[in-house]
Amino acid sequence: MARRRAAAPGALLVFLAMKAAPGDPALSVLGENARPELVQAFRHQHGLDLPLWRQFLRWISAALQGDFGRTLTLAGGVPVRELLASRLPVTAFVGLYALLLAVRISLLLGTIAALQRGRTLDTLTTSFAVLGVSTPDFWLGYVLIFFLALNVLIFPSYGFASPTQSIPGALLSGFLPALAIAAPMAAVFSRVLRAALLEVMHRPYVQVARSLGHGSAFVFVHAVLRNALIPYVTVIGLQVRYLLGGVVVIERVFGIPGLGSLMVDAAFGRDYPLIQACALTFLAIVLATNLIVDLVCTRLDPKARP
Amino acid sequence: MRHGRGTLFLGLGITLVVLFGILAGPFITPFSPEEMDFVNVLTPPDASHWLGTDSFGRDVLSRVLSGGRISLFISACGVAAGAVLGTALGMGAAWRGGTVEAGLMALSDLLFAFSSFVLALFLMVVLGFGLQNVIVAIGLTYLPVFARLARNLTRALMHEPFVQAARLIGLPPWRILAFEILPNILSTLMVQASIGVAFGIVIEAGLSFLGLGVQPPTPSLGVILADGREYFQRAPWVLTLAGAAVSVMLLGLNLLGDGLRDLADPRLRRAAGP
């Protein structure tokens, strides 16, 4: 709940931080030795000569309508909105792909670990989990390239087929990047699921369900898993922040033209409107995910239902 | 019980070995991390160069050890700054309550809503690239984490009898916070810090890998990995083995953090399994 209050001050923070950044955007675009009247004209054109609060109001009201202005240095001044619109679907695809992989892997591993508690398989999955947390995702990306793309030639090592052009191509070329992002997250998810399953497994209502004569698979799915899902989904929501961080680096590693590589390019070019827009978009994604997770948790928890 | 202890000792062991390696590195490796050797360029790992050499003939192991020192320094400084400031702010906020507390928690909520890596990247643009600014970015990323943790822990203790007693004998608030409450919440903060240092190393490596953090020729882990990326096809061992060394370092810190947490919280130990 509290998270959602963050939207407006978040935008203000992004704006003010960007204003506090060293360097004059006019000089970085026009060059250090630009003529003063040209600098004046540039400032006026981009509204940089207005008072700060008017600049903020102008920026935020335009941003709310989807207008983030034009880029300063990148691609010679195209509208930021067009860049975002062309990059966002790619990032959304890779991010969701990674999330889906992480959920599938962790459901399998977490369940195995909980059911085999204390045996070899449990130790193995737990070790995998600790290893996964300790592996930087961009390094994992290169290891995957090395083993699965350079030597075996199953997956492309670089580049990305857009999902709008070909779905199978996108699934194939997106697999390694998604796996690199998913592995550390799957590690965290499976540990949480294991702990949650173990916590629920010996509750009285599970014993009641069992004593009523339901099969063990039925009891597991309806009595155990269902109640363990709430902490699991909550953690997935929290981890989306890390997922976005992974997306930024991994997009660079695999040459995926998404929002993350756009933000890195903007950082190199000191393209302030573009960085502001990227930061704001990432903030919006996190806030939207929190909202979705809250809604899912309310649906999952019978006690929280009105 | 045994599981928690085992994790703790394994983590402690790995961390100590890594610490020894990166601190004693300059004295025990026969090669200097900066010494170039153009006869042995991009040699695969062998008996004299355990992790091979890079495109300038520099010994990768020596570079990883000195890079580990730099990255650990950056991460530890950043986390320490974030922890000290965040804890002070969080404890103060919990003690004062009211608007101060609400305002501070709103600010920490706000910073929480950003992905920590995206926030660090954004801060690097605002502050400018370079080593000091990576420290500042990591510190600012961790500030809200510690502020919130310290605030919650302090709130839970504020009405305990020993705190009430300290109030009744007239101790000033800063003494109560520093000498009565802080020692009781320090273990939890330390667990967070050890996990934080591990993730701080990932942030540093990620930023420098992209070229937005520490700049070459300073050999931080991220710079070494970025370097290895340039000739990844010809000499894959530089990137893969240097990265594996980073993983070992993170593994030690994560196991240490897990073990400490299990030790500090017996309830978690039971939930986490045998």
Residue A75 forms part of a structural domain: no
Does A249 lie in the same domain as A190?
Answer: yes
Q: What is the pLDDT of residues B24-42, one digit of tens each?
A: 877 777 777 777 776 777 6
| Closest CA relative to residue B91, chosen from B163, B149, B151, B148 | B151
pLDDT value at residue A104: 92
Chain A residue numbers touching B232 (CB-CB < 8 A): 142, 145-146
Which CATH number fits the domain that encloses residue A124? 1.10.3720.10
Q: What's the helix, strand, coil split of chain B in %, to 5?
A: 75, 0, 25
pLDDT at B4 over 80: no
| Residue labelled with tokens 């202005």 | A69
Question: What is the average pLDDT across A106-135?
Answer: 82
Question: What is the average pLDDT across A149-163?
Answer: 67
Choose among B110, B114, B125: nearest Cβ to A270.
B125
Please give the helix or strand (H or E) that residue B173 lies within, else none.
helix B173-175
Mutate to test the interface with A, among B119, B145, B202 (most CBs of A within 10 A): B202
Work out how many domains chain A is built from and give that number: 2
Q: pLDDT category, A1, cuts 50, 70, 90?
A: very low
Cα B172 off chain centre by = 34
Question: What is the average pLDDT across B93-119?
Answer: 81
Whether B179 has its CB under 8 Å from any CB of chain A: the answer is: no
Type of residue numbered A64: L
Does A107 lie in the same domain as A44?
Answer: no
Give the DSSP letter of residue B215.
Answer: P
Q: What is the pLDDT of residues B238-262, one digit of tens each?
A: 888 888 888 888 888 888 887 777 7
ipTM score: 0.75
Q: Name which of A20-34, A69-83, B161-175 the model is least confident about.
A: A20-34
Please give the helix or strand (H or E) that residue B53 lies within, else none.
none
**What is d(CA B195, CA B187) in angstroms, rounded to the nearest whole number?**
13
Q: What is the pLDDT of residues A93-103, one digit of tens each?
A: 888 899 999 99
pLDDT value at residue B272: 37
Does A222 lie in the same domain as A175?
Answer: yes
Chain A residue numbers touching B196 (CB-CB < 8 A): none
Q: Can you read off the two tokens belonging to residue B27?
A: 């004295």
pLDDT at B80 over 90: yes
Residue A175 forms part of a structural domain: yes
Got the DSSP string for A160-211?
---TTT-HHHHHHHTHHHHHHHHHHHHHHHHHHHHHHHHHHHTSHHHHHHHH
Q: Between residues B66 and A152, which one has the greater pLDDT? A: B66
Residue A77 forms part of a structural domain: no
Q: Do A241 and B114 touch (CB under 8 A)?
A: yes
Q: Do B116 and A242 touch (CB under 8 A)?
A: yes
Chain B residue numbers touching A134 (CB-CB < 8 A): 198, 247-248, 250-251, 253-254
Mean model confidence pLDDT for chain B: 81
Bridge partners of B53, per DSSP, are B59
Does A128 lie in the same domain as A27?
Answer: no
Q: Do B109 and A6 touch (CB under 8 A)?
A: yes
Coil, helix or strand at residue A34:
coil
Highest-confidence range of A50-54, A103-107, A298-302, by mean pLDDT?
A103-107
Q: Between residues A13 and A126, which one has the greater pLDDT? A: A126
Which domain range does residue A26 map to? 2-63
Does A91 lie in the same domain as A38?
Answer: no
Q: Do A195 and B124 touch (CB under 8 A)?
A: no
Residue A150 forms part of a structural domain: yes
Does A197 lie in the same domain as A52?
Answer: no
Does A213 lie in the same domain as A137?
Answer: yes
Which runs of consecutive H residues, i.e. helices, occur in chain A? 7-20, 25-30, 36-45, 52-64, 80-115, 120-133, 137-144, 167-173, 175-201, 204-211, 216-219, 226-254, 259-269, 272-300
- Helix and strand numbers, DSSP H then E, in chain B: 11, 0
Q: Name which of B112-116, B117-121, B214-218 the model is least confident about.
A: B112-116
Q: Are B146 and B82 in contact (CB under 8 A)?
A: yes
Show Cβ contacts of residue A200 under 8 Å, excluding neighbours closer than 6 positions.
A206, A223, A224, A227, A228
Phi, psi (degrees; rounded to nearest 5) at B53: -125, 160
| Closest CA relative to residue A27, chosen from A39, A19, A18 | A39
Q: Are B15 and B252 in contact (CB under 8 A)?
A: yes
Chain B residue numbers touching A150 (CB-CB < 8 A): 233, 236
Type of residue numbered B179: F
| Closest CA relative to residue B189, chosen from B111, B104, B77, B83 | B83
pLDDT value at residue B129: 80
Does A32 lie in the same domain as A130?
Answer: no
Coil, helix or strand at residue A302:
helix
Q: Do B115 and A2 touch (CB under 8 A)?
A: no
Give the DSSP letter of residue B1.
Answer: -
**What is d(CA B225, CA A197) in angstroms, rounded to the nearest whole number?**
39
Bridge partners of A70, per DSSP, are A79
Q: Are B89 and B104 in contact (CB under 8 A)?
A: yes
pLDDT at A18 over 70: no
Type of residue numbered A292: I
CB neighbour class for A234 (10 Å; exposed up to 12, middle 13-18, buried from 19): middle
Type of residue numbered B70: I
Q: Do A139 and B122 touch (CB under 8 A)?
A: no
Of A13, A47, A63, which residue is a domain's last? A63
pLDDT value at residue B228: 83
Q: B216-244 burial string, b = 16+ CB within 10 Å, else e?
A: eeebbbbbbbbbbbeebeebbbbbbbbbb
**What is d(CA B225, CA A38) in angstroms, rounded to the nearest whole number?**
42
pTM of the predicted model as reported, rounded to 2 decimal places: 0.80
- Neighbouring C-beta atoms of residue B32, cutoff 10 Å: 13
Residue A132 forms part of a structural domain: yes
Question: What is the average pLDDT across B259-271?
Answer: 60
Whether B47 has its CB under 8 Å from any CB of chain A: the answer is: no
CA-CA-CA-CA torsion sign (B189, B192, B193, B194): positive
Does A6 lie in the same domain as A45?
Answer: yes
Question: What is the average pLDDT across A108-126?
Answer: 82
Mutate to test the interface with B, among A119, A133, A247 (most CBs of B within 10 A): A133
Type of residue numbered A15: F
Does A151 lie in the same domain as A45?
Answer: no
- Using CB atoms and an 8 Å cut-off, which of residues 108-137 of chain B contact chain A? 109-110, 112-118, 121-128
Q: Can you read off the two tokens belonging to residue A10?
A: 């978040």
Does A212 lie in the same domain as A171?
Answer: yes
pLDDT above 70: percentage of residues in chain A:
75
Phi, psi (degrees; rounded to nearest 5) at B213: -110, -120
Does A59 lie in the same domain as A124?
Answer: no
Rg of chain B over CA atoms, in angstroms?
22
**What is d(CA A178, CA A185) in angstroms, rounded to the nearest whole number?**
11
Residue A138 forms part of a structural domain: yes
- Neighbouring C-beta atoms of residue B186, cutoff 10 Å: 13
In B, minimum Cα distance to A17 occurs at: B126
Residue A72 forms part of a structural domain: no
**What is d(CA A150, CA A144) in angstroms, rounded to the nearest whole number?**
9
Chain A residue numbers touching B253 (CB-CB < 8 A): 134
Bridge partners of B59, per DSSP, are B53
In A, minimum Cα distance to B224 occurs at: A139
Highest-confidence range of A47-56, A90-99, A275-284, B96-105, by mean pLDDT?
A90-99
Residue A6 forms part of a structural domain: yes
How many residues belong to chain B?
274
Q: A207-225 burial string, b = 16+ CB within 10 Å, else e?
A: eebeeeeeeeeebbeebbb
Q: Are B121 and B134 in contact (CB under 8 A)?
A: no
